[in-house]
Amino acid sequence: MKSPKIVAADTIECWLDLKSDALRKILPRVNIFFMNESEAKRFSGEPKVLRAARTISRLGPRLVIIKSGEHGAMAYDGETDNCFWAPAFPTFEVVDPTGAGDSFAGGFLGTAVSSGDPFHPSMIKKALFMGNVMSSFAISAVSIDGLVSLKSEEIAKRLEILKAAVSNGEGDGGVTSQISSLLKSLSR
């Protein structure tokens, strides 16, 4: 590709073990970078998720997405110093976690690039919710069975449930601006 609009990358544990230097070299060319929480802490050398995201963002990616399994996912925008979080869709049982991270990334990217600006705060929030919903379907069955017969109505219903679980009826209740203000005060 000569001029991609968005470059996204995900990693796995063996890249951290075997190709950490190569990974660091490609990050300046990546716009959106996905890692799970333990990988992010290990790769960055930071014990806290938010610090890990900021450290990784300074290596190149504007948006660092950290997946935290049953605790949801967060996005850190290194250009604006904003942090966004969305909870995981509540489930009582995980049948097979294989592919949950890839399903999250697919849901996130599909949503984020569906607008003109994948870095707009509202689009990042929508994308986090969609990623968490898609991963909830992935963990509900073995292999891709939780995804192959999925209907758009089922996705919409889970999105509605997840958004209702965190809403007070007034958007995000100012949570995003509160988190952004906190980040700005901590970085001084």
Catalytic residues: 102
The full length of the chain comes to 188
For the beta carbon of residue 24, count every other beta carbon within 10 angstroms: 13
Query: What does each C-alpha distance from 128 to 110, 123, 134, 149 come to in angstroms?
Result: 11, 9, 10, 22
Only one residue has tokens 């939780």, namely: 146
CA–CA distances in Å: residue 63 to residues 60, 119, 121 = 9, 8, 11
Q: Rounded to 5 degrees, what are φ and ψ at 121?
A: -50, -40
What's the rounded Cα separation, in Å, for the pair 174 and 166?
Answer: 12
- What tokens appear for 55 in the block? 């450290």
Residue 76 contacts residue 63 (beta carbons within 8 Å)? yes
